[in-house]
Amino acid sequence: MDRTRVIVFVAIGVVMFGAVGYNHLTSTTPLATFCHALVTNDFETAYQQLSRTSQQMISEPNFEIDFYRVSSCQPGTSTAWLGDRATALLTMTNDCVRNSSQQVLLQRAPTGDWKIGRITYPTCS
């Protein structure tokens, strides 16, 4: 294989890896913002990380009621991408559930921003 082909293959690999890394970084950003907002009781910012569809399923006051007991929140990394969707692991703790982990659906909004499309509150049994 000549030197030019090697350079082309390396360049293609770098571009592909960069695109995946960028997608990974930007798709998990709402989870980091969401978690930080929850543990600092900034429920407005946390609620803004939800997709429009998720916001239609729960009002902001009810969201605050459901999530105010979260004492720790740790986003995982993206595990799978399918076009404008991704899944990631999220672990939350409240006063009666320790380390409740769930797969969170992330969706790319029409604006290009990633939003949380599906999340459930760790409930006490």
Closest CA to 89 of 68, 80, 98, 51: 80
Closest CA to 77 of 122, 13, 27: 27
How far apart CA 42 and CA 71 sit, in angstroms, is 13
H-only helix segments in the chain:
3-39, 43-48, 52-57, 60-67
Could you list the pLDDT tens digit for every one of the 125 residues in the chain? 555 543 433 333 333 333 343 344 455 688 999 999 999 999 999 999 999 999 999 999 999 988 888 889 998 865 677 888 888 888 888 877 777 788 888 999 888 889 998 877 666 65
Two tokens, residue 59? 């009002």
Two tokens, residue 88? 């990631």
CB atoms within 10 A of CB 100: 16
Domains and CATH numbers, the chain: 3-118 (3.10.450)
